[in-house]
Each structure stands twice: as structure tokens, then as C-alpha cells.
Amino acid sequence: MAAASLGHMFLTYLRRELRNRRKQTAVVAIGLAVAIALVMVVSSVSAGVRDAQAAVLESVYGVGTDITVTQTAEPGEGGGFGPRRFDFDAEDGEATDEGTRELAQERLTTNPGTTSFEADALDAVAGLEHVTGVAATLELTSISFSGEMPDLDQMREEGGGIVVGPGGGEEGGQGGPSSFEIDQQTVTGIDPAAAAVGPLTTTEVADGRTFEASDAGQDVAVLDAVYAEQEEIAVGDTITVGGTELEVIGTVSSTTGDGVETAANVYLPIDVAATLADLEDQVTTLYVQVDSSSNVDAVSEAIAAELPDATVSTQADLAEGVSGSLSTASSLVSTLGTWLSVIVLLAAFGLAILFTVSGVNRRTRELGTLKALGWSQRRVVGQIAGESVAQGLIGGVAGVALGGLAVLAVNLSGITLSGSTGAQVAFGRPGGGGMRPGTEGAGEAAVGGPAAFGGGGGDGLAGTVSDVVLQAPVSLWIVAAAVGLAVLGGLAAGVVGGQRAARLRPAEAFRSLA
């Protein structure tokens, strides 16, 4: 058997049939094309959203972090805004002539909702199987309060509490003028010697230098470049954290994107941070790297067993913690997008099958004639299946082109997704959203009795917000899968139609009607 000659008639006949039934071919191919274009868009957009999520997570947790370990604060302990207050006694500060007292206080505590735990957890985790790297950080929030408060002694005499007006303005309250400022920064203590895992892995030095092993115990700080610019702090300047002056040795910027803030405003050697916060040998977060993604769950369970009080989060858990338009997009793509593609894909497959079967029914006499001419079962079935697969291929190529254009359109339209991670709770970071010093939120805080400032509550708990422009990647894999799906649709139609053709008796050639 000369294969080439068989192939020739096969192809000629196939081409003629497809050309002759142009409309049917077009409908089937377009159906499949639209379906796989949709599949392409959905899968590449969801890959894009996943990338964006990873970028947001990485900007907070660093590259290569598979698991983070934190500990949730018990009510009444830790750095929560609720229980932690600035408590000023009436005698604090200096009384001024105008019936106010000048006050200034700074608090360096663990982040709201989290608490620190013993640093030896690091060694416990490092000793676990499949763990290839662990870094510990001490993630703190520094809130400083400064300003003038009404002299409470005087006010008590007049009776009743007072409300400080917006912006701490002059007209606020009957008890005399008051004004105050709240400043807040995130401060992260880092092991200067450990560089492989942790928040600094997604940063690059913008100015000066980053930590070296010899910085341990030194009063030095590295600042987030965006923060440094806002605060007009340059390398070589000093900043005050926890009442101690630290020399700024460098600034770092995020590798995630231009103008994106890194995980914290201020980075310190972890031992210095611990001393300043009065949290000796304590850490708040462990960043754990695992040898293979298939071991992440096992390691996560092992850590949970080792540290029963800890909250162990895998990348997948962390991704769930990403909120904002990013998470909306993510759930939209994963639910609606997936269902829509499945439905459209099934409809396209159904259409292909329907048209093929009706084609076989119409060609009963023709196919019977071929059998009467001595064509084998296999050849007749192959011819029918070949036509369907060819329609699938045409649909596949058209669909990849269509899908490619659609993805291109998505990418060119520059959709910006913003994501925030609840785990890194920032409060009123300058320019970072949330509450700003001296704005309404602070001003509305009621002051009564011994002046107590209890924080702004939930509204102020904006996480680390990152804007990521959606870039939907079209991988070769997606293209191959898309074409494969279209061919699969053609094949499904071919199998059904071929089965029908196989059942036809050669005697159908004698049918008087076509």
C-alpha cells in the first residue's frame, strides 16, 4: 500500500467536503474558535491575576516564602489598637499658659492582632524535614503622638468631657484649644545575616546599602525608598524609633514595580528592634522556605504540631488573604470565567457533534457507495473523523488568533488591580491609604476623662496596598492546550459521526433518496 497515494485522495476528498460545506465548516470552526478563545482569555487572565497576587504577596513576604508563621494576639495582649492605649495622666507633660498640656509619646508594639513569640521557634522550624530556609522578623508598628491637649484638671472643674474638633482645630471644644498629631510607621526587625528568605528579598537597594552581618546590634536602619522620599529622609540622616536615634544606611525599593512600597517603612537589625520594643528574644513572623511545593502542606502541618499556638499560613492561605479588586478579579475569573468557558466549550463541542452527525445522515448514500466500492470500514470512518478533526484544527487556529487578540486587548487596556494583604496591617501610613495624621479620623477621636487614645478601629486597618497592572501571559502551554481542545472537539464529533458512518450498511448505496 502506497501511503502517499491514500493520503492524497483522503486530503482531496476532505478539502472538497469542507469547502463544499463552507457554512457548516464555518459555524463549527467559529464555535470552537470562540470557545477556545474564551478558554485562552480566562486561563491567561487567571494566570495574570495569579501573578499579580504573587507579586502582592511577594512584596510583603518576599520571594521564595512558602509558609509564614505568626501568632494571633489573645484578647487583651499584643499590639492591638483596642487594648493598647496611650494613657496620659493629668500630670503628664507640661502645662501651658493657655490651659493645655504639651504631650509627646511613642509606642513601639507588635502589629494589631498579632503577638510575638519565642525566637527559638526559628530553630524548631529550621530543624524540620524539607525546610530549606527560615528567617525570623520582628514586625512592629510605631505610633507616635504629640501635641497639646486641654488641661484636664481645668476641664474637670468645668464639668463634662469635651470633643476635640476636626483637625484638632482651635474652635474644638469648650475647654480651650488643643492640637495633636499622630504619626505611624511600620518597623520590621530583620536578621542582617539572613538574606535568602523574608521581606527584603523582593527589594533592591535604591541608595546607600542594605544590611550586612556586622550590622547586628548596631543602631542602623534601612528605609523604604517611597517612605524616605515622603518623609524627606536621606541616607546618612538619623531617625528616631522607640526613643533611640538610628542612622539611615540605605533605602530599598520594591522589585515588584515602580513606586510600590515594600513591606515596611523602616527595617532594623532584629536584635535592635527587640531591644527597642522591649521584646528580647521575641519574633513575630517566620518565613519558611520548603524544598518542593508538594511538601508545603506536610511542613505546614509539622510546624503547626511543633508550635501549637502559631498561625501557619501557606502561600495559598496567604493568597486568600489578598483583598481588594485583585481578589474580586480572582474569584470572578475562577468562578464565572471557568463556568462560562466550560459551558461555551460544551456548546461548541455539541455543535460540532450535531453538524457532523447531520452531515453523515445526509451523506448516507454517498458513504454506502464508498463501502460498495470496497472502501474499508476504517477508511470511511477515518474520512468522516478527518473532516471533523480538520474543522477542529481550523477552529483551533482561528481561536488562538482570536484569543491572542483578546488577551492583547486585555493587556493593552492596562487594567490595574489593587490588592491588600490583611496580614500586614498598616495604619495611616503616609501616602499609603488609610488614616493620615491630622485628618478627620484622628480628629474625631473623643477625649474624655483621663485622655485616652484608642486608635481608629477597623477603618484604619488598611493593609499593605499594592497596585499591579494586569499582565495576562499567553504561554505556549495555553496555546497548545487551546488548539488541543479544539482538536479534541473535532475528534469528539469525529468519533460520534464516525460511529454512525461505521453502522451504515453498504446497501445504503441503493437508497433512492440521497
Partner 1 sequence: MYQIEKLTKTYTQGKRTVHALRDVSLRIEDGELLSVQGPTGGGKSTLLQALGGLDRPTSGSVVLDGKDLATMNDAGLTRVRAETVGFVFQNFNLIPTLTAQENVETALVPAGMTKEERARRALDALESVGLGERADHLPDELSGGQQQRVAIARALVKNPTVLLADEPTGNLDEDTRDEIIDLLEGLWKEQGLTLVMVTHDSAVAARTPRRIRIAKGRLKELTGA
Rounded Cα–Cα distance for residues 281 and 243 (Å): 20
Residue with grid cell 464555535, as numbered in its chain: 31
* Strand residues in 129-265 grouped as ranges (E): 131-150, 162-163, 179-190, 203-208, 220-224, 238-241, 244-254
Residue with grid cell 518565613, as numbered in its chain: 287
Subset of residues 283 to 342 that bind partner 1, contact rule: CB under 8 A = none
Under a CB-based contact definition with an 8 Å cutoff, are residues 147 and 181 in contact?
yes
Under a CB-based contact definition with an 8 Å cutoff, are residues 514 and 362 in contact?
yes
Question: Is residue 5 part of the contact set for partner 1 (CB under 8 A)?
Answer: yes
Residue closer to partner 1 by CB (options 214, 376) is 376
Sequential DSSP letters for 455-482:
--GGGG--EEEEEEE------HHHHHHH
Total number of residues binding partner 1 (CB under 8 A)? 32
Compose the 378-417 pattern: x for residues touching partner 1 by CB under 8 A, - for all others: -x--------------------------------------
Q: Which three cell numbers stand for residue 241?
A: 524609633
Determine which residue in the list 27, 342, 357, 509 makes contact with partner 1, applying CB under 8 A.
509
Q: Does residue 132 sit in helix, strand or coil?
A: strand
Selected range binding partner 1 among 5-13, 26-34, 222-230, 395-403, rule: CB under 8 A: 5-13
Question: Is residue 377 part of the contact set for partner 1 (CB under 8 A)?
Answer: yes
| Min separation Cβ 356 and partner 1, Å | 16
Rounded Cα–Cα distance for residues 473 and 434 (Å): 32
Residue closer to partner 1 by CB (options 1, 476) is 1
Selected range binding partner 1 among 155-163, 194-202, 312-320, 504-512, rule: CB under 8 A: 504-512
CA distances from 270 to 136, 184, 266 (A): 8, 19, 12
Determine which residue in the list 371, 404, 461, 488 makes contact with partner 1, applying CB under 8 A.
371
Compose the 7-36 pattern: x for residues touching partner 1 by CB under 8 A, - for all others: -xx--xx--xx-xx----------------
Question: Is residue 375 part of the contact set for partner 1 (CB under 8 A)?
Answer: yes
Residue type, 342: V
Determine which residue in the list 75, 159, 374, 414 makes contact with partner 1, applying CB under 8 A.
374
Residue closer to partner 1 by CB (options 11, 405) is 11
Question: Is residue 369 part of the contact set for partner 1 (CB under 8 A)?
Answer: yes
* Strand residues in 20-95 grouped as ranges (E): 67-70, 86-87, 94-95
Sequential DSSP letters for 162-174:
EEPPGGG-TTS-S
Question: Is residue 370 part of the contact set for partner 1 (CB under 8 A)?
Answer: yes
| Min separation Cβ 383 and partner 1, Å | 10
Residue type, 9: M
| Min separation Cβ 380 and partner 1, Å | 10
In degrees and rounded to multiples of 5, residue 327 shows phi and psi of -75, -30
Residue closer to partner 1 by CB (options 13, 106) is 13
| Min separation Cβ 1 and partner 1, Å | 4
Compose the 339-368 pattern: x for residues touching partner 1 by CB under 8 A, - for all others: --------------------------xx--
Residue closer to partner 1 by CB (options 476, 514) is 514
Q: Which three cell numbers stand for residue 249?
A: 544606611
**Each residue of 40-50: b (16+ CB within 10 Å) or e?**
bbbbbbbbbbe
Under a CB-based contact definition with an 8 Å cutoff, are residues 217 and 272 in contact?
yes
Residues in the chain: 514
Rounded Cα–Cα distance for residues 178 and 167 (Å): 10
| Min separation Cβ 12 and partner 1, Å | 6
Determine which residue in the list 22, 160, 373, 412 makes contact with partner 1, applying CB under 8 A.
373
Residue closer to partner 1 by CB (options 255, 377) is 377
Q: Which three cell numbers stand for residue 251?
A: 533605602
| Min separation Cβ 505 and partner 1, Å | 6
| Min separation Cβ 294 and partner 1, Å | 51
Determine which residue in the list 72, 292, 293, 376 makes contact with partner 1, applying CB under 8 A.
376
| Min separation Cβ 504 and partner 1, Å | 11
Rounded Cα–Cα distance for residues 97 and 308 (Å): 55
Question: Is residue 161 part of the contact set for partner 1 (CB under 8 A)?
Answer: no
Selected range binding partner 1 among 165-173, 219-227, 323-331, 374-382, rule: CB under 8 A: 374-382
Question: Is residue 504 part of the contact set for partner 1 (CB under 8 A)?
Answer: no
Residue closer to partner 1 by CB (options 10, 107) is 10
Rounded Cα–Cα distance for residues 221 and 240 (Å): 10
| Min separation Cβ 9 and partner 1, Å | 5
Q: Which residues contact 282 (CB under 8 A, 6 or more apart)?
A: 116, 117, 118, 119, 138, 274
Question: Is residue 6 part of the contact set for partner 1 (CB under 8 A)?
Answer: yes
| Min separation Cβ 483 and partner 1, Å | 27
Residue closer to partner 1 by CB (options 7, 169) is 7
Determine which residue in the list 354, 372, 397, 495 makes contact with partner 1, applying CB under 8 A.
372
Label each residue of 387-444 as H, E or C: HHHHHHHHHHHHHHHHHHHHHHHHHHCCCEEEEEEEEEECCCCCCCCCCCCCCHHHHC
Rounded Cα–Cα distance for residues 259 and 230 (Å): 12
Q: How far is CA 276 from the centre of its chain?
A: 32
Residue ranges in contact with partner 1 by CB under 8 A = 1-2, 4-6, 8-9, 12-13, 16-17, 19-20, 365-366, 369-377, 379, 505-507, 509-510, 512, 514
